[in-house]
Amino acid sequence: MNWTEDDEVDSADWIWCWMTLAISLLIVAQALEDGIAQFRRGEFESARKSLSTVQPSPLRDVFLAISEVNTGHCADAEPKLRVRYEVPELRRLAGSALLQCLTLLGRMEEALPLAEKLGREFPRDPDVLYQSARLHMQAFNDTVARLFEHAPASYRVNQLSGEILDVQARPAEAAQEYRKAIAKNPAAINLHYRLGRALLVTGQFDEARREFETELKRNPEDALAEFQIAQIDAAQQKPTAAEHYERALQLRPGFVEAMVALARLRPASAIELLEEAVKLAPAHESARYGLMVAYRNAGRLADAQTQKAELDRLRKPPEGEFTEFLKRLGEPSKP
Amino acid sequence: MRLLWAALVLAQWTETRFPHVLPNGGEKTKKWILETTGSGIAVFDYDNDGLPDVFFVAGDGAPSRLYRNLGGTKFADGPAFPRVGWGQGACAGDLDNDGFTDLIVTYWGEPSIYFNQRGRSFREQRLPQKGTRYNSGCALLDYDRDGDLDLFIANYLEFDFATTPPPGANPYCFYRGLPVNCGPRGLPFARNALYRNDGKGRFTDVSAASRIAEPDQNYALTPIVTDADNDGWPDIYVACDQTPSLLYLNRRDGTFSEEGLLRGVALDENGRALSGMGVTAGDYDRDGHIDIFRTNFSDERVTLYRNRGDGAYEESTAAARLGLQTRYVGWGTALLDFDNDGWLDLIQVNGHVFPESGAYRQRALAYRNESGRFRAAEAPELPHSSRGLAVADFDNDGSLEVVVNHQNEAPSIWKNKAAGNWLRVVAPIGARVRVTAGGIMRVDEVRAGGSYLSQHDTRLHFGLGKATKVERLEVRWPDGQVDTIPVAGVNREVRVANAPSLPRGGSR
């Protein structure tokens, strides 16, 4: 090939251009790497700044958007998250961050269906579950505030207070609130049941049983109240326990907990009951365990081993933390 | 040295205190889980004078202490144990077959083996371990039937001051909204260990080869050795915190298989893993099979597993009228016949792990066994945050006493006075003893390890009630051979250990 002077100038320009491009690419690659490293260290503001200088790509977008969410720039993050939510391998990550965003923005009407959808797709994912929990907590808080504001004298306020105290493991105070609710509305259903539960937790078995019986007088089809009476009788070794479990099952034929408990009292029909329970609720560990023991006791060791394998599978810890996945996203792929 | 007598006299128990407070982390708050789990007790006769002595393990800040039994529940300081560290559990047995009982103390860090120097002092030797392990309870057993005691050490979890988060750092570091020390959840699991004895007290780690180290998802605390499947070979049950408890069945070939779940002793009857702390074993229903009782955390029922006799267990907590009291965090425990009526009664000590909980000190619980059903009985009323518990007839008067190691308080001894006849049998560790009196057969095993990180006196105590004659005393030796031993009467001690004059095999 013959080279002219102009050719040489053009070639030099061309080389310069390539070098500039290569250096630019290196700078961009470095910025992306820096941004991801900052993200992984939890330096979200620095990550946001670094990543915003980088050319858009699926990886950059998702790290940038989550950095934006974590630094209060949800409005900037949302469009990117919506786009990347459609990419299957980024769906869980983008969806979880989008849910966080919508919750922060108070857009419950959009957040609730998204949480439901993510929950169906990723039922054991800790980040999805965490964001869903935060969302529902926010929705709960908003609703409670409205109830207390608009109907402070309603028995519902006492009922809800009691239920919150129950959750906080303060059963004695919960019982007081339920009693106030009953005084305001003696005909309301479920209050005596709630009171019975609170009394049960504090070891007042006889008083609790009376409340469950009162609940049944108001609502004779309350399978849960029947079940609680059965539980008390079983704990006290009373022969009436089985009858109450059976009655609970008549009222609610798919009542798995009642099947499991009844199986313990009716060894002859344990396998039949527990096979039905496992059919209705395959992931019910208590039913699986009961069935394993029932098979073992009947000498059906192969069947017991099958149930044990199922139990082992159910008890296996959920797949790795979502954040581990997040970390791996920024790491070079292994050969 | 006289004990400090507390002004508490009960119908069944009289509580007195040892003179030294053994430290175990913070009293108002505890930053690390390591401060919550200690410590145990070992009862053993180190000077062969026929009186059981008592060793209390201490946490960091002061050495553990051995008290020499002077008789009449009076004690004096025994030989010193200078090591200071996070002591956890203790177990004792004659490791080098020299006729004197040696001692093992577990630590966060390498365990100490204390070789008994003919009842005068102890020579310490560390058991080498890779890394810093959180050794919890220990137990001795002759798993390979070679005539010496091998060593099982439970391992709680991986703990490192540098990497363990501080209180309140994550959801596993809260208790009812209070920031507390982190764990066990959130901290890495560890594996249990088995060390084979060469007969001279030299140990080789056989954890992998024996398959003891296979389970890796358990927070193991207290082991107890029992022949769970009645095949004459020692098996190991381990109470585990917040995770399924373990049952290692001896396969008679130097290996074990972990079968807790299928055998029915890993979970409660609802299939839930509870927070197992302490464990004891005994035939509470007098059906000839050794059952297992486990203490758990508060808001959980204690768990009684009835041995069906076919190598499987079923939970019998409710049937035995236990589990109604769930307020306390249970630790050391024993099935013991404290009233000598021939039925094994039950005792457990309690105490919260979090001083911040407001319920740090809790009362002990005692239950009288009434034909296989337990009824709440009087127990010492002073609340403590107790951990280790061990049982012995310290004054050799035929009534069992209980010693308890507390957190941040001097240990207690509960003196007991029982009517009823009795028989004490001294047999080697691993022996199973059957005593028939008044037409009723009682069975027990000689164990090193159990309760909570502790060891009861290895001399077996049988309450005989009104029986005035022992019809039969049968010993199944650790090698599987069975002998019957003549007994002249009741209310006496029968020594069948170290009896070379007795030919093995068959009755005589």
Comparing alpha-carbon positions, the chain B residue that sits nearest to A292 is B262
**pTM for the predicted model, two decimal places:** 0.81
Interface residue A335 vs chain B (CB under 8 A)? no
Report the pLDDT value the prediction gives residue B265, as an integer from 0 to 100.
98
- Given an 8 Å threshold on Cβ–Cβ distance, is B312 in contact with A296? yes
pLDDT at A314 over 50: yes
If asked whether residues A30 and A119 sit together in one domain, one would say yes
Contact list in B for residue A310 (CB cut-off 8 A) is none
If asked whether residues A34 and A126 sit together in one domain, one would say yes
Interface residue A305 vs chain B (CB under 8 A)? yes
Query: What is the C-alpha to C-alpha distance for residues B313 and B170, in angstroms, rounded to an integer?
Result: 37
| Residue B21, Cβ density class (10 Å: 0-12 exposed, 13-18 middle, ≥19 buried) | middle
- Nearest neighbour of A289 by CB, restricted to B177, B271, B326: B271
Report the pLDDT value the prediction gives residue A11, as an integer from 0 to 100.
64
Any long-range contacts for A291-294 (C-beta under 8 Å, 24+ apart)? A292/B261, A292/B262, A293/B264, A293/B314, A294/A263, A294/A267, A294/A270
The enclosing H or E element of A61 equals helix A58-70
pLDDT at A1 over 70: no
If asked whether residues A239 and A307 sit together in one domain, one would say no
Q: What is the pLDDT of residues B442-455, one digit of tens each?
A: 999 999 999 999 99
Is residue B224 a contact partner of residue B168, using CB atoms and an 8 Å limit? no
- Given an 8 Å threshold on Cβ–Cβ distance, is A285 in contact with B264? no
| Separation of CA B310 from chain center | 25
Interface residue A271 vs chain B (CB under 8 A)? no
Residue A278 forms part of a structural domain: yes
Query: What is the C-alpha to C-alpha distance for residues B469 and B395, in angstroms, rounded to an integer?
Result: 23
If asked whether residues A263 and A189 sit together in one domain, one would say no
Which of B309, B384, B378, B389 shows the shortest CA–CA distance to B345?
B378
Residue type, A102: L
Distance from CA of B47 to the nearest CA of A (A): 48
- Nearest neighbour of A296 by CB, restricted to B262, B270, B326: B262
Query: What is the C-alpha to C-alpha distance for residues B171 and B155, in angstroms, rounded to an integer?
Result: 24
Interface residue A323 vs chain B (CB under 8 A)? no
Query: What is the C-alpha to C-alpha distance for residues B80 and B45, in angstroms, rounded to an integer?
Result: 16
Residue A330 forms part of a structural domain: no
Is residue A291 a contact partner of residue A306, using CB atoms and an 8 Å limit? no
The ipTM, to two decimals, is 0.86
The 8-class DSSP code of residue A195 comes to: H
> Residue B276 is encoded by which pair of tokens?
């197992």
Residue type, B406: H
If asked whether residues A232 and A281 sit together in one domain, one would say no
Label residue A327 by pLDDT band (50, 70, 90). Answer: very low
Query: What is the C-alpha to C-alpha distance for residues B30 and A263, in angstroms, rounded to an integer?
Result: 44
pLDDT in single tens digits along all 508 residues of chain B: 444 433 333 447 889 999 999 999 998 999 999 999 989 999 999 999 999 999 999 999 999 999 999 999 999 999 999 999 999 999 999 999 999 999 999 999 999 999 999 999 999 999 999 889 999 999 999 999 999 999 999 999 999 999 898 898 888 888 878 889 998 988 999 999 999 999 999 999 999 999 999 999 999 999 999 999 999 999 999 999 999 999 999 999 999 999 999 999 999 999 999 999 999 999 999 999 999 999 999 989 999 999 999 999 999 999 999 988 888 999 999 999 999 999 999 999 999 999 988 899 999 999 999 999 999 999 988 999 999 999 999 999 999 999 999 999 999 999 988 889 999 999 999 999 999 999 999 999 999 999 999 999 999 999 999 999 999 999 999 999 999 999 999 999 999 965 444 444 333 3
Report the pLDDT value the prediction gives residue B498, as an integer from 0 to 100.
55
Cα–Cα distances (Å) from B171 to A2, A274, B186, in that order, read 74, 35, 9
CB < 8 Å from A in window 423-442 of B: none
If asked whether residues A309 and A270 sit together in one domain, one would say yes
- Residue B84's CB is within 10 A of a number of other CB atoms, namely 15
Residue A160 forms part of a structural domain: yes
**What percent of chain B has pLDDT above 90?**
86
Q: What is the pLDDT of residues B278-320, one digit of tens each?
A: 999 999 999 999 999 999 999 899 999 999 999 999 999 999 9
- Nearest neighbour of A286 by CB, restricted to B177, B270, B324: B270
Residue A12 forms part of a structural domain: no
Q: What is the dihedral of CA A118, A281, A306, A309, to 10 degrees?
A: 40
DSSP A117-180: HHHHHSTT-HHHHHHHHHHHHHHHHHHHHHHHHH-TTSHHHHHHHHHHHHHTT-HHHHHHHHHH
- Nearest neighbour of B324 by CB, restricted to A235, A297, A305: A235
Report the pLDDT value the prediction gives residue A57, as an integer from 0 to 100.
87
Report the pLDDT value the prediction gives residue A315, as an integer from 0 to 100.
83
> Residue A85 is encoded by which pair of tokens?
């939510």
CB < 8 Å from B in window 99-118 of A: none
Report the pLDDT value the prediction gives residue A29, as an integer from 0 to 100.
73
Average pLDDT rounded to a whole number, residues A158-173: 92
Q: How many domains does chain A have?
A: 3
Contact list in B for residue A304 (CB cut-off 8 A) is 262
If asked whether residues A97 and A118 sit together in one domain, one would say yes
SS3 helix, strand, coil % of chain A, rounded to 5?
80, 0, 20
Residue type, A256: V
Distance from CA of A308 to the nearest CA of B (A): 7
Distance from CA of B265 to the nearest CA of A (A): 11
Residue A176 forms part of a structural domain: yes
Is residue B439 a contact partner of residue B207, using CB atoms and an 8 Å limit? no
Cα–Cα distances (Å) from A47 to A36, A51, A53, B256, in that order, read 7, 6, 10, 52
Q: What is the pLDDT of residues A167-208, one digit of tens each?
A: 888 899 999 999 999 999 999 999 999 999 999 988 899 999
pLDDT at A59 over 90: no
Is residue B24 a contact partner of residue B355, using CB atoms and an 8 Å limit? no
If asked whether residues A287 and A207 sit together in one domain, one would say no
| Residue A49, Cβ density class (10 Å: 0-12 exposed, 13-18 middle, ≥19 buried) | middle
Domain harbouring A277, CATH code: 1.25.40
Q: Is A65 helix (H, G, I), strand (E, B) or coil?
A: helix
Distance from CA of B122 to the nearest CA of A (A): 46
Comparing alpha-carbon positions, the chain B residue that sits nearest to A231 is B318
The enclosing H or E element of B65 equals strand B65-71
> Best residue in A206, A296, A307, A310 to probe B by mutation, most B CBs within 10 Å?
A296
| Residue A68, Cβ density class (10 Å: 0-12 exposed, 13-18 middle, ≥19 buried) | buried
If asked whether residues A163 and A225 sit together in one domain, one would say yes
Query: What is the C-alpha to C-alpha distance for residues A119 and A129, in angstroms, rounded to an integer?
Result: 7
If asked whether residues A173 and A249 sit together in one domain, one would say yes
Distance from CA of B347 to the nearest CA of A (A): 21
Give the full edge-to-edge strand order of the sheet including B135-141.
Answer: B135-141, B150-155, B193-197, B203-205
Is residue B180 a contact partner of residue B354, using CB atoms and an 8 Å limit? yes
Distance from CA of A129 to the nearest CA of B (A): 15
Distance from CA of A260 to the nearest CA of B (A): 8
Give the full edge-to-edge strand order of the sheet including B219-226.
Answer: B219-226, B235-241, B246-250, B256-258
> Best residue in B174, B259, B261, B328 to probe A by mutation, most A CBs within 10 Å?
B261
If asked whether residues A191 and A216 sit together in one domain, one would say yes
**What percent of chain A has pLDDT above 70?**
86
Label residue A25 by pLDDT band (50, 70, 90). Answer: low
Domain harbouring A169, CATH code: 1.25.40.10
Query: What is the C-alpha to C-alpha distance for residues B233 and B201, in angstroms, rounded to an integer?
Result: 21
> Best residue in A165, A206, A236, A289 to probe B by mutation, most B CBs within 10 Å?
A289
Q: Which of A200, A233, A253 is the last residue of a domain?
A: A253
Average pLDDT, chain A: 88
Which of B217, B218, B264, B211 shows the shortest CA–CA distance to B239?
B218
Query: What is the C-alpha to C-alpha distance for residues A139 and A157, in angstroms, rounded to an integer?
Result: 17
- Please compute Rg for chain B using Cα positions: 21
- Given an 8 Å threshold on Cβ–Cβ distance, is B318 in contact with A203? no
- Residue B39's CB is within 10 A of a number of other CB atoms, namely 29
Comparing alpha-carbon positions, the chain B residue that sits nearest to A308 is B262
Tally of residues, chain A: 335
Q: What is the largest CA-CA distance in chain A?
A: 109
CB < 8 Å from A in window 219-248 of B: 244
Interface residue A242 vs chain B (CB under 8 A)? no
Cα–Cα distances (Å) from B93 to B87, B428, B459, in that order, read 18, 9, 12
> Residue B181 is encoded by which pair of tokens?
């020390």
- Nearest neighbour of B318 by CB, restricted to A237, A304, A315: A237
Is residue B102 a contact partner of residue B115, using CB atoms and an 8 Å limit? yes
> Best residue in B214, B257, B270, B304 to probe A by mutation, most A CBs within 10 Å?
B270
Contact list in B for residue A166 (CB cut-off 8 A) is none
Range of the domain at A113: 26-132
Interface residue B269 vs chain A (CB under 8 A)? yes
Contact list in B for residue A278 (CB cut-off 8 A) is none
Residue A107 forms part of a structural domain: yes
Query: What is the C-alpha to C-alpha distance for residues B297 and B300, in angstroms, rounded to an integer?
Result: 6
If asked whether residues A263 and A249 sit together in one domain, one would say no
Query: What is the C-alpha to C-alpha distance for residues B23 and B30, in angstroms, rounded to an integer?
Result: 12
Residue A279 forms part of a structural domain: yes
Cβ neighbours of residue B261 closer than 8 Å, sequence gap 6 or more: A292, A308, A311, A312, B244, B267
Cβ neighbours of residue B8 closer than 8 Å, sequence gap 6 or more: B14, B15, B380, B381, B382
Comparing alpha-carbon positions, the chain A residue that sits nearest to B320 is A237
Residue A328 forms part of a structural domain: no
- Given an 8 Å threshold on Cβ–Cβ distance, is B261 in contact with A285? no
Average pLDDT, chain B: 93
Report the pLDDT value the prediction gives residue A236, as an integer from 0 to 100.
85
Report the pLDDT value the prediction gives residue A76, as an integer from 0 to 100.
92
- Given an 8 Å threshold on Cβ–Cβ distance, is B270 in contact with A289? yes
pLDDT at A243 over 90: yes
| Residue B97, Cβ density class (10 Å: 0-12 exposed, 13-18 middle, ≥19 buried) | middle
Q: Is B287 helix (H, G, I), strand (E, B) or coil?
A: coil
